[in-house]
Amino acid sequence: MRRISNIWTIILLLLGTALTTAQVAKDSDLYQTILSLDEAYFTAYNACDMQTQGSLLSEDLEFYHDQGGLSVSKSGILESIEKNICGKVTRELMAESLEVHEIKGFGAVAIGLHKFYNKEEPDAISKPSRFVTVWKEEDKGWKMHRIISLH
């Protein structure tokens, strides 16, 4: 029984090591590309630049929000952002938290933490929340394909 326990311990250690090293290096082209795309999208988000936001979203976008549910309409998402977010909320990436994982032949997954600041609640403390973004490399460039936002 102890031998089986030791084998499972070794397997779990190897699996844990594989999962923590699966991300690409921060100085890699892919990491820098995804970091730049995140910055481009959320600079537009913070400035209410709907055209740039729209250009970075996939036509078959799926947005999963733990409080708002599932949204699958790109135009609906953009309308909601314009109505409810523009001029009111800004987002800040906690850059040290960003992980980028390559998906061969498809794109990449970005996982990290970010904070949102509500201008209508200036004294509210922003707590980091987790996000997962699946970026798809399309003929017309990289697009946010699947987004999971957890608060």
Residues shown for the chain: 151
Give this prediction's pTM.
Answer: 0.84
Where are the chain's structural domains?
24-150
Model confidence pLDDT, tens digit, residues 109-150: 999 999 999 999 999 999 999 999 999 999 999 999 999 999
pLDDT of residue 22: 85
Handedness of CA 28, 31, 36, 39 (dihedral sign): negative
Other C-beta atoms within 10 Å of 125: how many? 7
Spans of the chain, pLDDT less than 50: 5, 11-18
Q: Give the domain 24-150 fold.
A: Nuclear Transport Factor 2; Chain: A, (3.10.450)
CA distance 53 to 42: 8
